[in-house]
């Protein structure tokens, strides 16, 4: 049997697609905390996608064009303003105007979901989120020993997470949801409470219509994730704090109860259109073995199935 190189097979594939008048649907990727659109790992990932889907157009979301400033924007900035900036960025790219698939890594996942709910023009077809904090986090992740930027942001967030400055300027604070202090969360938070439509007085029906318009929402959980607390936030689960027999709240993580997606008020009352999407088979639960953002080869089958579909 004749052997063909990968490059030759890719060329043959491209010729066949062109002859058939088909091309892969474009893809947008929003990186996670501590990363940058132009970091070597992200550029390598984009090249890997192009190997899976020859000819695909890939756009890497950025807040700042400078690599270091873009990384810093993952820690410091107003998330609502960043999502709006990205909506303008995507609207200006000609290749995306017919719609696109999207991948969000970690916090990039809930930021892309915010884009869908608030803007979605051009529209997202399939949205894949890897280790994202859809119902928030109840603990601030630890930092690498020499990551000074992360350490400063972590200390600032821990010191006054529901203070007005933190809620306007510290990215992680804007999706911090303390199950033992929900009153402060509802009062102070202006990002996660908004995209999850948690405040009845300001609930936005457009968010529900837009999210339900997705073809697929693929929720990927990392099985050994210790960075996202609880890791099941990636599957729209959240924690509740139960009262103990003596009336004291249990505040330790191992005493908290997880509420799965299907039991969430957000789902049962269809605040964001998640129930509509799920009932027509649009929500996909998946797992990657390992710790937070240890993709290994896990991404490849997911990208092959849910991203880069042919558009004729």
**Orientation of helix 107-118 relative to helix 79-91, angle to 10°:** 70
Q: Are 37 and 5 in contact (CB under 8 A)?
A: no
pLDDT of residue 260: 97
What's the first-to-final CA gap in the chain, in angstroms? 33
Catalytic residues: 106, 225, 292
- Residue 214 to residue 218: CA distance in whole angstroms: 10
For 269-307, write each residue's pLDDT tens digit. Answer: 999 999 999 999 999 999 999 999 999 999 999 999 999
Of the candidate CATH numbers 3.40.50.1820, 3.30.450.20, 3.40.50.2020, 3.30.70.270, the domain formed by 24-311 belongs to: 3.40.50.1820
Nearest to 50 by CA among 225, 312, 304, 305: 304
- Residue 237 to residue 261: CA distance in whole angstroms: 5
Domain ranges of the chain: 24-311
Q: Are 133 and 108 in contact (CB under 8 A)?
A: no
For the segment 136-164, the average pLDDT, to the nearest whole number, is: 80
For 54-80, write each residue's pLDDT tens digit. Answer: 999 999 999 999 999 999 999 999 999
For 30-46, write each residue's pLDDT tens digit. Answer: 999 999 999 999 999 99
Nearest to 236 by CA among 205, 198, 266: 266
Half-sphere exposure in the Cβ direction for 14 (13 Å, CA): 13
Element (H, E) at 273: none
Using 50, 70 and 90 to split pLDDT, how confident is the model at 148?
confident
Compute the C-alpha angle 108/127/202, nearest 5°: 70
How far, CA to CA in Å, does 106 sit from each of 15, 204, 225, 285? Answer: 36, 25, 11, 15
What does the block give as tokens for 99? Answer: 């719609």
Please tell me the pTM assigned to this model. Answer: 0.88
**Orientation of helix 205-212 relative to helix 107-118, angle to 10°:** 110
What does the block give as tokens for 1? Answer: 């049997």
pLDDT of residue 158: 66
- pLDDT over 50 at 3, yes or no: no
For 190-237, write each residue's pLDDT tens digit. Answer: 999 999 999 999 999 999 999 999 999 999 999 999 999 999 999 999
């Amino acid at each position: 049997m004749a052997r063909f190189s990968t490059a030759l097979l890719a060329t043959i594939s491209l010729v066949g697609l062109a002859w058939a008048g088909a091309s892969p649907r474009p893809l947008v990727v929003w990186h996670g905390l501590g990363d940058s659109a132009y970091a070597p790992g992200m550029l390598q990932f984009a090249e890997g996608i192009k190997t899976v889907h020859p000819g695909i157009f890939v756009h890497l979301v950025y807040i700042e064009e400078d690599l270091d400033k873009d990384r810093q924007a993952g820690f410091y900035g107003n998330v609502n303003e960043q999502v709006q900036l990205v909506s303008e960025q995507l609207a200006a790219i000609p290749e995306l105007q017919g719609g696109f698939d999207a991948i969000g890594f970690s916090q990039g996942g809930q930021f892309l979901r915010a884009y869908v709910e608030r803007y979605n023009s051009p529209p997202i077809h399939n949205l894949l989120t890897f280790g994202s904090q859809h119902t928030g986090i109840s603990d601030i992740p630890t930092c690498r020993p020499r990551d000074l930027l992360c350490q400063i942001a972590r200390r600032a967030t821990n010191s006054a997470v529901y203070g007005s400055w933190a809620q306007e300027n510290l990215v992680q604070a804007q999706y911090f949801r303390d199950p033992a202090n929900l009153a402060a969360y509802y009062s102070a938070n202006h990002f996660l409470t908004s995209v999850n439509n948690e405040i009845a007085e300001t609930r936005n029906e457009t968010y529900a219509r837009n999210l339900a318009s997705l073809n697929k929402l693929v929720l990927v959980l990392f099985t050994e994730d210790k960075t996202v607390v609880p890791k099941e936030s990636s599957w729209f689960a959240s924690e509740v704090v139960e009262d103990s027999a003596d009336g004291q709240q249990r505040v330790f993580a191992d005493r908290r109860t997880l509420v799965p997606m299907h039991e969430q008020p957000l789902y049962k009352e269809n605040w964001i259109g998640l129930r509509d999407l799920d009932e027509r088979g649009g929500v996909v639960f998946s797992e990657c073995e390992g710790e937070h953002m240890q993709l290994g080869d896990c991404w490849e089958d997911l990208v092959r199935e849910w991203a880069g579909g042919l558009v004729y």
